[in-house]
Every structure is written in structure tokens, then in C-alpha cells.
Amino acid sequence: MVSFVQKVDLQKYEYFPDPMPDAFISIIGQTTRHYFLDVFDDFTPPCVLRKRARTYFNYAQEPGWDENTQLTPFPKILFICPSESMKTHVARYVKALLEKTYDDKISLFLTTKTRIEAKEYENIWQKVE
């Protein structure tokens, strides 16, 4: 079962990051997996994506998620970037953040709007490591 909750319906989750993600996805099965989804348009400057990544890193260090979800694993973070160059830029930035924080709680995955529109679903997400 898949649960997809859009930003407008996330207001009831007071412990979610501020600002809210564009969507919260739960895939419920033997193991439940959660995802925060953010979609960026062509006019979004790189600094906004960097700031959003930092917001998630800071949020992961706070007790809000753990306290409100009975220690459910932290959601994976999905960014849909407007272009390949923006995806590369964000990947480099997040990699540097990961190296500084040594946080194994954060898993961030990137793709582009073009790949989704082209329905290239195989290997669509690139994990930043």
C-alpha cells in the first residue's frame, strides 16, 4: 500500500520540517518506508536547494521525528531537480554536508524533471554518497 500526502494536508504533522516538504510518501509492506519529496522548478536558484538540504540535515539532528514516530527510521529525502546541472550541483553540496556531519541517518536521492517526464523509471534516483 502506498500513502501519498501533499503539502496542503501535512499541516497536521506539527513535528515535520519547516517548511513542509511538497509531499510525504509511505510505502507500507513488510517494512514500511517513508520519503520526504521536494520538487524544484526551473526558476529555483541553487541557494534554495542548498538551504533545503541543510534544513533536512538540521531536522534530522532534532528529536522531533524520533519522539513522534516511536523511533521509525528517518525518511529518505527525494529531490526532483529542474536540470542535470542543478542535480550535479546539489549532489556535490550534499556530499560535502555528509562528509562534515558523518550522519548515517540521512539518505538523499536526486533525479530530474526531464527523467520523470520521459518515464525513465529504471535507475531514476541517484543516491548522494
pLDDT tens string 71-97: 789 999 999 999 999 999 999 999 998
Report pTM. 0.92
Domain ranges of the chain: 2-127
Please name which of 12, 11, 10 lies closest in space to residue 24, comparing C-alpha atoms.
Answer: 10
Cα R_g (the chain), whole angstroms: 14
pLDDT tens track for 48-62: 999 999 999 999 988
